[in-house]
Structure 1
Amino acid sequence: MLQSLQISDQHLFESPAKYLILVDAGSHDKLLKMMERLEILPMSEIVIATFLSDSLAHLYKPYKISKDTSLILEACGKWSKNDGMRNLCNELKIERRHNFGKYNIKISVVVKKNESINIKNFDDLLEVSGDEPYFFNDFTNIYNLMQYINATFTLRPFQSYGYLDDSTGKFSGMVGDIIEGNSDITGSPFIPTDTRCKYLDIIKTFEQYGTRFILKRPSLSFIENIFLMTFTKKVWIASTLVLILFGTVLYFLLNWEAKHKKCLRTKHKYTIGDITLISLEAVCQQGTFADSSTYSGRLIILLLFTAFMFLYVAYSAYILVLLQSTTPIRSIHELVNSRIQCGGLNISFYEAYYKVCKSLNLYLVTFMYVICDSRLSSFFKWGHL
């Protein structure tokens, strides 16, 4: 029956399907020989109940490490008419079938350099190459898995995760190697796109993922010139208006005093140059040569000096606030155009992602400053652009 149905070709023995096969003792060996030709891999759940008599049956669970290996039988229980079912296999599912008997598993991985896989002992990674962080971080889990299941492995290196070629209809890189059956599993995680999921079986739980720029807000003084930021356009306009207003009042007031006050020692007329000099003296807080004889004149000069004194106080306080503040970077252009030096790892799927990116600014910045410059090194870097 199993041979006629060709059940293994239909992948009907794969998890989560479960089967119970009832057979008498005379047909037990014949059934096992038939199963030798089927793909009953470790994830299968088949129970063979071999009846030695009408009141006694032994239960077995057959499986194979691979299609070409011999069949393995697990004694999982015993049934009798008087005692009922006795379970002989109390192990958890994760603890079962983890001895692959040094079976060689082919693993395809993505690396920047093929020499990175030439490591004799993955248990002792004292110095990890800086341009292979993904391979060494990800393959550690695969290596521990191989040790747990008592299997050996052969690495097949690729420099690309694999993308569909519309002209040929085939995948390249690591994904293409898996689809063609040259490797058993992948040792490097990849993004499960719609096109890939049509051809691959994902055996890992899906998680939320995304590409993000993780950036601690830098000090504002590192990004901008805070000494110039304080003098905005409004500050310049206000300072100019103060100078013009007080200068005009002083010009007419001092000339009126020189003309009408007989007690003044100097009778010369104050020019625009004199008023400009007085204004500069107020700006520099250096005192003034002008000495008004009226309370109104002295009050105007005092207000002029006081106005610029408070301007300097406000300037100093604003500088202190800016020194302690941070600046938000809200876009990729703000990051690139800042004084921060940024770096990252040039990985093949980044380039593929940015090619279909909907943000024109991100696309241009990436290909102008990142991918074009990164051909000299595995790391890309941009600075003061």
Structure 2
Amino acid sequence: MSPSTTQQLPIPSHFDSMKVGEVWRVAYQPLAVAAETWAKQHAILPASEDRVRVCLLAIDVQNTFCIPDFELFVAGRSGMGAVEDNTRLCEFIYRNLGRITAIYPTMDTHTATQIFHPIFWVNAAGEHPAPAATTITLEDVEQGIWRVNPAIAYSLTNNDYEALQRHALHYTRCLTEAGKYPLTIWPYHSMLGGIGHALVSAVEEAIFFHGIARSSQPHFEVKGSNPLTENYSVLRPEVMEGARGEVIAQKNTNLIQQLLEFDQVLIAGQAKSHCVAWTIDDLLTEIQAIDPGLARKVYLLEDCTSPVVVPGVVDFTEQADAAFQRFADAGMQVVKSTEIFG
């Protein structure tokens, strides 16, 4: 996908950039009628007729990460990162409605009792770790600074507490040996059935409008529901084997295959330093195992993603930028959403 002089579409009048940081109900039926009318007005063909098939992978564009005051709002250094990113993402979808063949939204999906949530762990005093301010290392588990909360064994392993404790030791060891971030305890977020789990309303509206206008079903990818592993990347969980070598999770081979069948793959979403970077890294690993030249068909919308930044606590901007530079060095295209594509 290279810049071209092809005219972009106007942005429909229903899109309100001032509402991107808010939660509201999408009016599906009127929007569907408007989308079909828009398609006729602008001679937008069904996606089935695309000669160049383009996929937009929208990673975790959910309220929990993208709406101020929600659990893990990705503020970036600007303080409004995810809102600004999603404004540009919506505008990109509308302007390129006739070129985007399919949209693949990923959905970070959790329940309360998972390895990265506070209830999973206790210290000697029976206290849970503070979310967003605690990382649990292999040494912490070995020394008993943090151990699995015995009360959760009932619902996760049929009261086999020792199995959970073995897994905790194995899990943190795997992260250490793989050179990954240490286990971070996050606030409860992306809770299945909750409002934080939902797509950002403005983005949901844009995806629905695209689906109707182009007769292209959005392809939702759920990730993160396994209680025994983190799942930053939509393509594979952080740890896939248990303490005894048993399989506890698997790589998303179906999605990998689908993405590589597109002529171009565009990637946006949150957060640049975590779920976006992990997904791109896994995709690059698959590409390099098949044909490194395929990296050139992957386009990273750098102005539609922001890193995790908590002022005074942590700033992942440099790590995120370094990852994107590594992806660019491998052949992926780092672009802005405002570029005109043909």
Specify the TM-score bucket, using the shorter chain as the normaliser. under 0.3
Between the two structures, name the one with larger relative contact order (CA 8 Å, sep ≥ 6).
2
Greater fraction of residues in strand: 1
Structure number, greater radius of gyration: 1
- Taking structure 1 as the reference length, what is the TM-score of the superposition? 0.20
- Taking structure 2 as the reference length, what is the TM-score of the superposition? 0.22
